[in-house]
Amino acid sequence: MASGFFALLDDIAAIMDDVAVMSKFAAKKTAGILGDDLAVNAEKASGFISSRELPVLWAITKGSFLNKLIILPIAFLLSAFLPVAVIIVLVLGGLYLAYEGAEKIYEYFFPHEHSKHEISLEPMTEEEILTLEKAKIKSAIVTDFILSVEIVIIALGTVIGKPIVSQILVVSIIAIIATMGVYGIVALIVRMDEAGLKLIQLNSKEQSFTNKLGNILVKALPKVIKSLSFIGTIALLLVAGGIFVHNIGFLHGVLPQLPSIITEFIVGIVIGGIVLGIVTVFKKIIGKK
């Protein structure tokens, strides 16, 4: 009886060792998409008043965990019984990301009429602020869902052929790390100014280290937030382009003379522009009707 119990413990320890090794490998494979995920979600989570930043970020984080709970069992089932559906879902998600990235670029050069009218010196009411928050939270969670699908599928691809228990453990670990790591860093970014202010208040001497560091953090935040919009847009197109290049047959090896990152960006922006054109025409037709 005792020997059987210790043999079971040895088996569990061996499984956990394998899971640790496979999780490390899966983390390396998903590092690129996690970087894009960080840039996109940091941009999505910024732009709120100071007192609402953390509550909004927490709402997005909860939505991200819910996304993972939905995606993980579906991914395991599709991978086991209908692998082609995984590719279809990835490509559809890529179309959405490409569209969103292309729309941001288009609006930068050709602002919509509603965007022009949104600029107002009048303070927003509490109801208007909450409505805006809900819209941005919803948009962030939808984008997170698509990026989460990509992360889960990439992680799953590193453990194909392994026992189902190992697959579930490895991919679940990566999903949890992705959510906690990404949104933990996003929280640090959006609270840079508050941290800087606290450092300034620690010491009244202007030339003190804490004062200088605090001023750097306060002054850096607007620049960081401004750059996140640009980085997030590029990340959307890179992720989308990567999905198309790796999962659509006739795009394999397209533009071989260029670095892969440039190829993926070009493919992302071209397909995003096509989807944006189709959606714009469709909206005009619906509007007329």
Q: Which of 17-26, 130-139, 279-288 has the lowest mean pLDDT?
A: 17-26
Closest of 98, 66, 58 to residue 278, by C-alpha = 98
What's the pLDDT at 123?
A: 64
Q: Does 101 have pLDDT greater than 50?
A: yes
21 confidence band (pLDDT: 50, 70, 90): low
* The model's pTM: 0.67
- Residue 263 in tokens: 């190829």
Q: Does 119 have pLDDT greater than 50?
A: no
Phi, psi of 249 (to 5 degrees): -50, -50
Q: Which of 4-18, 181-195, 214-228, 242-256 has the lowest mean pLDDT?
A: 4-18
In tens, the pLDDT along 48-100 reads 666 677 888 888 889 989 999 998 898 888 877 887 887 788 788 889 889 98
Sequence-distant (≥ 6) Cβ neighbours of residue 176 within 8 angstroms: 68
What's the pLDDT at 27?
A: 60
How is the chain split into domains, by residue range? 15-239
- Residue 97 in tokens: 């990301």
- Residue 49 in tokens: 């008043």
**Whether the Cβ atoms of residue 112 and residue 38 lie closer than 8 Å to each other:** no
What's the pLDDT at 7?
A: 47
**Residue found under tokens 């750059």:** 227
